[in-house]
A = this chain, B = another copy of it.
Amino acid sequence: MLKTLPKEQNVNLQNRARLLVKCPDKPGIVSVLSTFLFKYEANILESSQYSSDPENGTFFIRIEYNCENLPEKALAMEKDFKNIADEFNMEFKFQYRNQRQRTAIYVSKELHCLLELLWEWQNGDLDTDIAVVISNHEDAREIVESYGIPFHYLPANKDIRKEVEAKQIRLMEEYDVDLLILARYMQILTPEFVNHFENRIINIHHSFLPAFIGANPYERAHRRGVKLIGATSHYVTNDLDEGPIIEQDVERVDHRDDVQTLKKIGRKIERRVLAKAVKWHLENRIIVENNKTIVFH
């Protein structure tokens, strides 16, 4: 059932692209970039910038542009841009809208985050190809396969972690995956795995970090008697629950809510917080700097 594919995007997507730049801040950067784009008759649709400090800081910009006949010009543009990049010491990336990023969703027994992602994706709200779903349980198979998405069951535990991760890395390569989404995947990842996908693994933690780092956050929130519970999506690093925070949200609770109720309320927060983080990543709105995120809304 529900085999409907994501909605057709509007046809001119092949002329749409994003230019992402990071470099030492100094006057003239915007001038050079916008003059470059104008030379190729590109029209800037959206532009967001941030400087960590006008004096000696780092400059970040995200430009979304439309350019007639972009596929024919792209190669020349990229080559030409090299000169600017060298002069200003830029890190940069051209992201073409008709080259969809590919995602893998990792899930265990709780399916609410997976279902929310599938729902958003089916609505055309997540601009990605969901290449594969990986799970250490069979629970998600039926729903995933009903969307025509490959599902791989890989039982996991700490004794076989390395072998499992080796298989996972092979699968990520085979499916040509750009982004890994841990949608309540309840397994610890090794440093090797995490380093292999730097700033490319998004996790949802079921607390308002940095409160309740680690296991059983709802139980601990209940014990502490907090009046709001939350969820946090972040990039995974090798410090548990310490990676760059992408998005957080909270809901009000009170003394009558037991742990079970906190979990129910929490699931709703987790769903929307993870979906937002994934959406922003796919739209190249997130820059990681100093273990924090810049998010261009």
Measured CB to CB, the residues of A under 8 A from B are: 1-2, 25-28, 30-31, 34-35, 37-38, 41-47, 49-51, 54, 66, 112, 115, 119, 123, 125, 142-143, 146, 208-212, 224-228, 230, 244-250, 254-256, 264, 268, 272, 291-295, 297
Contact = CB atoms under 8 A, between A and B. Distances in A.
Interface of A is mostly: mixed
B226 A245 contact: yes
Contacts of A125: 264
Nearest to A44: B30
Given A224-B245, A248-B227, A264 B123 contact: yes
Given A54-B66, A224-B210, A142 B2 contact: yes
Contact of A294 (B37, B47, B255, B295): B255
Copies in the complex: 4
A71 B294 CA distance: 33
B28 A38 contact: yes
Contact of A1 (B49, B143, B228, B245): B143
25 contacts: A2-B143, A27-B37, A27-B38, A27-B43, A28-B34, A30-B30, A30-B47, A31-B35, A31-B38, A34-B34, A34-B35, A35-B35, A45-B51, A54-B66, A112-B119, A209-B224, A209-B226, A210-B212, A224-B245, A227-B246, A228-B249, A228-B250, A250-B250, A255-B292, A255-B295
Contact of A49 (B38, B47, B295): B47
Contacts of A292: 224-225, 255
Contacts of A50: 255-256
Given A210-B212, A228-B250, 12 more contacts: A27-B38, A27-B42, A31-B35, A43-B54, A46-B49, A47-B47, A125-B264, A211-B211, A224-B245, A224-B292, A228-B249, A255-B294
A183 to B, nearest CB: 15
Contacts of A1: 1, 142-143, 146
Contact of A245 (B42, B123, B227, B249): B227
B27 A41 contact: yes
B54 A45 contact: yes
A209 B228 CA distance: 10
Nearest to A234: B225
- A31, A50, A66 — most chain B CB neighbours (10 Å): A31
Contacts of A297: 254
Nearest to A211: B211
Contacts of A41: 27
Nearest to A291: B225
Contacts of A230: 228
Nearest to A45: B54
Contact of A226 (B35, B49, B248): B248
B227 A247 contact: yes
